[in-house]
A and B are shown apart, each in its own frame.
Chain A
Amino acid sequence: MTDLLHIAGQKFHSRLMVGTGKYASNELMKESLAASGTEIVTVAVRRVNLEQPEESLLHYIDIHRYTLLPNTAGCHTAEEAVRTARLARAAGLSNWIKLEVIPNDGTLLPDPIATVEAAHQLVSEGFIVLPYTTDDHIVARRLIEIGCAAVMPLGSAIGTGQGLPNPERILRIIEEANGRVPVIVDAGIGSPSDASLALELGADAVLVNTAIAKAQNPVQMAAAMAKGVEAGRQAYLAGRIPKSPVASPSSPEEQKIGN
């Protein structure tokens, strides 16, 4: 049976979502996306530079191959995020929005109250809302109740590469979601083993940007991330052994020589 990721009625084979920021060049980004096997890519919304026209990012992203997930990065309030989401939709490529409301305090940690507020508004306007959120399961519960298409708890702070220091918090959110919507671990993933852990826990997908874009070889790292995600998913489906405080030998205790 094919194991597919379902988001808002759409089906995806890949459980690795990839961000398009921070690459040394657009060419490198394009190659990295291809190597990752991703089917969903995030983009940001910014003012057009009127003084110095720049090449369009979309020349490097095949919109027939990838589902675009615009974000509201840089928005400090619910109002700014709603405004940015409306602009993103008006560009005419996607009514999906990765909702981020992050106060301007240097932590890059989400404002959960403003996120719920903005999500509520955007769901009512017909957006497919995928909110970036804290690892608090009550916030996740509220986001699911108001109709978000997924929840995206952070593993650790954006760009830190610290992985999942609190896996039990992610697990609690997975239990809370209980298959109603996908749980996508967003932010903090630094290596394929971090991505694998997220999937092993039962997360439905991960979103990775910095760990690929800032690797010494982004294309190679993108391929490695894909394998980490695949390994984690297979392990989750296979069912890992419980951890035990007591050792148990793998070889027979009987018929040993010299007795």
Chain B
Amino acid sequence: MQIRVNGKDMSIEDNWTLLDFLNSLRLQEERIAVERNQEIVPRENWSMIHLSNGDELEIVRFVGGG
């Protein structure tokens, strides 16, 4: 299954939840925020959202800034 993450195409397992995908990136401990198809997915819903072919994700975090 193909999804687009932070502007890059990626192949992932079918039937993965958003949480499965984030765990595969080892990001679960980070203070991150996730948008799926331009909608924020609250942290408590990560395990309930099943990713679909063609989904577009934005995964962000805090970096240094003024």
- Which of A's residues lie within 8 Å of B, judged by CB? 19-23, 26, 29, 42-48, 50, 53, 56-58, 68, 70-71, 73, 83, 86-93, 158, 187, 207, 209-210
Q: How far is the CB of B11 from chain A (nearest CB, A)?
A: 13
Set B8, B10, B58: member contacting A87, Cβ < 8 A: B58
- Which of B's residues lie within 8 Å of A, judged by CB? 5-8, 10, 25-27, 30-35, 38, 40-43, 58-66
Q: Give Cα A89 to B42, complex, Å.
A: 10
B66 touches A48 (CB 8 A): no
A21 touches B64 (CB 8 A): yes
Q: Considering the complex, give the chain A residue whose CB is closest to the CB of B29.
A: A56
Q: Which residues of B contact A21 (CB under 8 A)?
A: 63-66
Q: Considering the complex, give the chain B residue whose CB is closest to the CB of A87.
A: B33
Q: Considering the complex, give the chain B residue whose CB is closest to the CB of A159.
A: B66
Q: Which residues of A contact B59 (CB under 8 A)?
A: 47-48, 50
The binding surface of chain A is classed by DSSP as mixed
Q: A45-B60, A48-B59, A87-B35 are in contact. Are A20 and B65 (CB under 8 A)?
A: yes
B62 touches A50 (CB 8 A): no
A43 touches B26 (CB 8 A): no
Q: Give Cα A86 to B64, complex, Å.
A: 18
Q: How far is the CB of A117 from chain B (nearest CB, A)?
A: 19
B26 touches A73 (CB 8 A): no
Q: Considering the complex, give the chain B residue whose CB is closest to the CB of A20.
A: B64
20 contacts between A and B (CB under 8 A): A21-B66, A22-B66, A23-B64, A29-B64, A43-B62, A43-B64, A44-B66, A45-B65, A46-B60, A46-B61, A48-B25, A48-B32, A50-B5, A50-B8, A50-B10, A57-B61, A57-B63, A58-B62, A87-B60, A210-B66
Interface contacts beyond A45-B60, A48-B6: sample of 19 additional A-B pairs, CB < 8 Å, sorted by A: A19-B66, A21-B64, A21-B65, A43-B62, A43-B64, A44-B66, A47-B60, A48-B30, A48-B61, A57-B62, A58-B62, A68-B62, A73-B66, A88-B62, A90-B42, A91-B32, A207-B66, A209-B65, A209-B66
Q: How far is the CB of A109 from chain B (nearest CB, A)?
A: 15
Q: Which residues of B contact A92 (CB under 8 A)?
A: 31, 33, 43
Set B7, B26, B43, B66: member contacting A90, Cβ < 8 A: B43
Q: A19-B65, A70-B62 are in contact. Are A56 and B30 (CB under 8 A)?
A: yes
Closest 3 CB pairs of A and B: A44-B65, A19-B66, A209-B66
Q: Give Cα A83 to B6, complex, Å.
A: 15
Name, among A26, A90, A187, the residue most crowded by chain B CB atoms within 10 Å (CB to CB): A90
